[in-house]
Structure 1
Amino acid sequence: MNQDMRVAIVAESFLPQVNGVTNSVCHILDHLAAGGHEAIVLAPAGAPPAYAGFPVHPIPGLALPFYRSVSVGLLGGRIRGVLAAFKPDIVHLASPAVLGAAGATAAHRLGVPVVAVFQTDLAGFARRYGMGVAGRIIWSWLRRLHRRAARTLAPSRATLRELSARGIPRLALWGRGVDLERFHPSRRCERLRHRLAPGGEVVVGYAGRLAAEKQVHRLAAVAGLPGVRLAVVGAGPSEKGLRRLLPEAEFLGLRTGVDLARAVASFDVFVHTGSDETFCQAVQEALASGVPVVAPAAGGPLDLVRPEVNGLLYAPDDTSSLRAAVARLAGDAALRARMSRHARASVEGRAWPVLCEELLAHYRDILAIPAPPPAPPAPERRPDLAGGV
């Protein structure tokens, strides 16, 4: 099946919020536009009216209490009407939760197949914010949601195993692409490096959201290593506490686009601290920049970091293991140089157009399966939360 497709993307998070979900959706839309496909986006209110030439339909939303950079859609009352008017071939749920549940219900009633992309470990984030009891509720909700999908795409093998163990069916692996032009070793900036390490120290850097779920406080284990300067890129609710915890670190603030790529490429070692990553795009961007990575042996980084080749893995929640790994790389320039060469090579085949074509192949596989008849019309009632479509 090679004809153009009509794709409705229900995005739990979208512009102006900048995060992994938004980034993926934007790349998918760019690829659909380049391929001559038709698309619409349903996203939380506040989104721009259009992206890549495709209309964006706003849905009222709210911020999650434990992840306030993500505003999820609240009322799903108009979703069915938007989908019915567009007549999509397939509905794509991007990191579905509340708005995604409404999208799944609407698609089911219209007889349109659904592909769900699992991306955010909401249960893990809730646990990090001291809301562990909510994890069981979240998983129960996600099971009901994903059972309506013709296919759920997991970003890493670790996440695939977790979803399978949680009873989510019809799983397949689909990773994330990386912008190999933006994130490139040539972005390394000597002026920035001189600012960060005027004495020629080894620059050890982190880039990402500064929040509890990212466990950035683990960088304290690296602070004070001889010949090392610590740099932190990002912003978030934990920033004030981290500045107190890491007084010698250089905080570079939130950076995006080329500014982010320049900062990452200027590191000598990239450290990731969180153990709840379903994929970890920051690790992939560091590798594309030719920077060896130190990351926990958990979740998405297991698919990206090849120990002794492009980086090192440390035991999750073991800060002494983290410190030892960073100390080893910081003290061995030849090892860093060898890993740097392999870092870039390890992601050369993961450009976004390649990954987007893999996604379209999943769409076509699903569309080749005979569709069930539309669900009978539901009784008329007032719009409700999430499933009220």
Structure 2
Amino acid sequence: MRVAIVAESFLPNVNGVTNSVLRVLEHLHAEGHDAMVIAPGARDGQEEISDYLGFPIRRVPTVKVPLIDSLPVGVPTSVVDSELREFQPDIIHLASPFVLGAAGAFSARQLRIPAVALYQTDVAGFATKYQLSALAFGVWEWLRTIHNACQMTLAPSSLTIAELERHNIKNVRHWGRGVDAVRFHPSKRSEALREMWDPSKSKRIVGFVGRLAAEKGVHRLAALNDRDDIQLVIVGDGPERPLLEAQLPTAKFMGALGGEELAQAYASLDVFVHAGEFETFCQAIQEAQASGVPTIGPNAGGPVDLIDEGVNGYLLEVDTFIEDLPAAVDAIDSPEFGLRARASIENKTWEALCRQLMGYYEEVLESTRRVPLTILGQRPELPRWAARALGARVA
């Protein structure tokens, strides 16, 4: 099978979209399929790669979105259409399509190639969080146009599927995220690291791992600032770090970690907290659980499917998260929480998830074999503002 992936984000930017694309590419390589990636280019000072496992990476220019440094945007140039025409894929995989992915969806229609769209980023939630009225206007109309131009949409959680269906996005199926249960494991717990964080060896270590961006809600951990029995640890970097260092004056900021350092950091926590309400899945929660760490998250989005209330952690209402957080941390009071956290990820490997994805590919290919090419090639009806935005591509 020949698979073209149009990714809204990719290396060197590391996030949930990038990680899932990498796992898919690794599976395609292991199974002997052919692939290529179209993705945003590196930003200033970043090192750019031109291939991954021998699969070519074709780049488009990248621009910054005001106030959202954590959300890179690729400019949909003619490269998208020309590369897809040259590669002639059997199927097009759109990873979190919004701008670059929209160009991929419309090119797929023009080239009469079936497409699968993966909904991974809550852009509408981001727009609300950052008070970007120009972006907030028409976001769902735009997403509906992109996703309904594809033959199938995959979403990572039950709440996300329900939300997409409420906005009249068709043929939505479930596809979660796998976790590396070997790399993230309770055995990676480091007493030396814990002692570095808490020389007194008397405190519970409560932490967060992820991008330090406003939509992650890390500031809500300030509810634990005054607890003498708790040491906060923040792993990650991003535009909010200076502000968070002021808001969490007693926390240990470790910066961005990877590999074994990241695995040790996860496993060395006593409780993991993710306070952001805009996660369509929340891979960080799953990695913490694989590390044997109970988790606390918002009763919104992806965490709802990952946290079993009172079993491997707790879900808190977004509006009262700050007030409820200290009691939730105290309620995680036995080693059984960690054991149950690890047990909850036992069947969630990337191998299984990628096999499921290949099944979705085959389903789409089979269904489109029964559809006349003239139907598959029809363009979706664009909203006027969207047609003006992409006029050069869809005219």
Is TM > 0.5 for Structure 1 vs Structure 2?
A: yes
Alpha-carbon distance in structure 2 between the residues aligned to 1:344 and 1:71? 33
User: Which deviations, in whole Å up to 9, do the C-alpha atoms of 1:352-371 show, x marking residues without a partner?
Assistant: 11111111111011011124
Alpha-carbon distance in structure 2 between the residues aligned to 1:239 and 1:171? 36
**Does residue 305 in structure 1 map to residue 301 in structure 2?**
no
| Equivalence for 1:340 | 338
Name which of 312, 320, 324 aligns with 2:327. 324
| Equivalence for 1:354 | 352
Q: CA contact under 8 A between 2:232 and 2:251: conserved in structure 1?
A: yes
Alpha-carbon distance in structure 1 between the residues aligned to 2:51 and 2:64? 22
Alpha-carbon distance in structure 1 between the residues aligned to 2:129 and 2:24? 30
After the TM superposition, which segments of 4 or more aligned residues of structure 1 sit over 6 Å from their partners? none
The alpha-carbon deviation at position 387 of structure 1 amounts to 6.2
User: Which deviations, in whole Å up to 9, do the C-alpha atoms of 1:134-173 show, x marking residues without a partner?
Assistant: 3232111111111101000011111111111111111001
The alpha-carbon deviation at position 296 of structure 1 amounts to 1.0
Alpha-carbon distance in structure 2 between the residues aligned to 1:147 and 1:262? 42
User: Which deviations, in whole Å up to 9, do the C-alpha atoms of 1:250-305 show, x marking residues without a partner?
Assistant: 11111122211110110000011101110000000000000000111111000000
Name which of 12, 17, 21 aligns with 2:13. 17
Structure 1 unaligned spans of 5+: 378-383
Aligned residue for 2:319, secondary structure, equals coil
The alpha-carbon deviation at position 180 of structure 1 amounts to 1.1
The alpha-carbon deviation at position 53 of structure 1 amounts to 1.2
Structure 2 unaligned spans of 5+: 43-47, 380-387
Aligned residue for 1:291, secondary structure, equals coil
Aligned CA distance change for structure 1 residues 30 and 246 (closer, same or farther; 3 Å): same
Alpha-carbon distance in structure 2 between the residues aligned to 1:68 and 1:108? 31
Partner letter of residue 40 of structure 2?
A: P
**Does residue 146 in structure 1 map to residue 142 in structure 2?**
no
Aligned residue for 1:229, secondary structure, equals strand
Alpha-carbon distance in structure 2 between the residues aligned to 1:312 and 1:123? 26
Alpha-carbon distance in structure 1 between the residues aligned to 2:176 and 2:364? 18
Alpha-carbon distance in structure 2 between the residues aligned to 1:238 and 1:148? 36
Partner letter of residue 327 of structure 1?
A: D
Aligned CA distance change for structure 1 residues 376 and 231 (closer, same or farther; 3 Å): closer
The two structures have a TM-score, normalised by structure 1, of 0.93
The two structures have a TM-score, normalised by structure 2, of 0.91
Alpha-carbon distance in structure 2 between the residues aligned to 1:363 and 1:292? 35
The alpha-carbon deviation at position 75 of structure 1 amounts to 2.9
| Equivalence for 1:52 | 53
| Equivalence for 1:213 | 215
Alpha-carbon distance in structure 2 between the residues aligned to 1:221 and 1:357? 42
Aligned CA distance change for structure 1 residues 303 and 342 (closer, same or farther; 3 Å): same
Q: CA RMSD for the aligned pairs?
A: 1.6
Name which of 4, 24, 32 aligns with 1:8. 4
Paired residues in the alignment total 374
